[in-house]
Amino acid sequence: MIKKYLLNRYELLLFIIVLFIAFGANQTFLSKMYQFASVESNTSILWFSPFILVLLLFSALHVVLIPFSKSVSKLLIALLLLISALCAYFIDSFGTIIDKDMITNMLETDTAEVLDLFTLKLFLYLIFLFFLPSAIFWQTRFEKEEIFKGFIKRAIVAFLLLVVVSGVYMSVSKSYSSFFRNHKELKMYLNPYYPIASSVKYVQAFFKADITIKPIAQDAKKAANSKPRVMIFVLGETQRAANFSLNGYTQLTNPLLGKREDIISFTNFYSCGTATAVSVPCMFAKFGHDAWSDDKKYYENIIDVLQKVGTKIIYRDNNSGGSKGIADRVKDVKYWWGKEYDSILLQDLEENLANISSDTFILLHVEGSHGPTYFKRYSDNYRYFKPTCDTQDLEKCTQEMIVNTYDNTIVYADFIINETIEALKKYEKEYAVALWFISDHGESLGENGIYLHGLPYFIAPDTQKHVPSVLYVGDVQRYKALKQKEQQAYSHDNIFHTILGFYGVQTNEYDRKLDMLR
């Protein structure tokens, strides 16, 4: 009986597949688990974890395959291996966690961004963790079986494995339960369990969501003013506060802004999320970080409120991910989708500023410091720091090269912000003016083996959440008052209310305590 059900070619190959996934696609999970266990001298985890991981994956695979014939299981195994290989590459290379927000971000990524992630290492992962085991399984011929008998066999094997898993769990539950309770983030690296679970959550949220845009600030009205109010909001991308010399960074990344005596750099400013798909909708919403959830992006935002009271909106976007819905109801829009340098956003700025006759809000969404192809974000004359990492394959570069390349993107951003201020400054006698630059989120540059961004907020390093916020105001008295607040704690939560305050919009949605200009 045991030989008939367990010691056959099909079961042997499934076991080999599990070994590929357990030890090939879970290197980060095992590494972190061993690291924590070693620190805590947890011998149970150290000695038995590989065996338990293989057993769990083996039993889970059998449960999933119960309803499917062996021929259909070939397709499912291939799909599972593909998911495992792709996720392993991003987890191992960048420390990425594939949660629901990351899946949202991935699905909203354009083709150019996807191509930037193709490296030799990715192909090696696909060859050894997808093509090789898939080919072995696919080329094997299994004996034919009746549908009902095959179903019964798979159900019996799955049941027996679950019994074994239950027995093993009961024998080690005291040690394992406390260990994984203390290190909850470990499950986020378990591949392909967590990516698949996150995909299910994404699908559930997608079909559950009410995509009807819900109105806010129906009572909004604007106070009379003597001259037009104009704010240029430069929406940064992937810039982190730690690499702004305005904030004390040792490399001179703000050579132009650093010379100005009319700007405020808020040194203690934090983002709503760690990925564009979350941060951008959140930062322009009335909801703060603590109240934010996926369904909140289907409410009107600050741009909608400004339009209600007659403020003219001008939107220019060079971000490869687009506006993330914030400009869907704006008429005067232009997109370049990250195909140009960010200076393209200044193309018609002078013309727009010269023709203002009423309150105007200009939003410039940059491509900024989006990685891993940092070297594509600036022209050669902004290659200040060398050597640089001129490839998307970050593993070919030292951390110094990566940081230098990233810092060059900040130097280029410094130029864009300064040019925008200079353009606006010409009109400060005609309009009440302000420029506000804020990044959507930060970036990891290899610290503790983590790259890029998008980690769940509660475990994300400070570099992914601490963002630059630079403000220019034409009013000298207001500048002096704000300069005293440079080190106060602020966040994306303040944006909605500060913009309302700047334009003098009166509504019950306005919270004076969150208005940085008061």
Phi, psi dihedrals of residue 7, rounded to the nearest 5° = -95, 55
In this predicted structure, what is the pLDDT of residue 467?
98
Integer Cα distance of 121 and 118 in angstroms: 8
Of 118, 67, 165, 4, residue with least CA distance to 372: 118
In this predicted structure, what is the pLDDT of residue 479?
93
Of 333, 321, 327, 345, residue with least CA distance to 419: 345
* Token representation of residue 230: 């104009």
In this predicted structure, what is the pLDDT of residue 174?
67
In this predicted structure, what is the pLDDT of residue 247?
97
In this predicted structure, what is the pLDDT of residue 108?
78
Residue 36: its H or E element: helix 27-40
In this predicted structure, what is the pLDDT of residue 1?
46
Question: CA geometry: angle at 99 spanning 93 and 100, to 5°?
Answer: 140
Which of the residues in the chain have pLDDT under 70? 1-7, 142-147, 173-174, 177-178
In this predicted structure, what is the pLDDT of residue 176?
77
In this predicted structure, what is the pLDDT of residue 49?
84
Integer Cα distance of 249 and 247 in angstroms: 6
Of 7, 108, 13, residue with least CA distance to 58: 13
* Token representation of residue 512: 């004076």
Q: Are 439 and 240 in contact (CB under 8 A)?
A: yes
Integer Cα distance of 359 and 438 in angstroms: 21
In this predicted structure, what is the pLDDT of residue 289?
97
In this predicted structure, what is the pLDDT of residue 4?
53
For the entire predicted model, the pTM comes to 0.86
In this predicted structure, what is the pLDDT of residue 425?
96
In this predicted structure, what is the pLDDT of residue 501?
96
Beta-bridge partner residues of 472: 263, 435
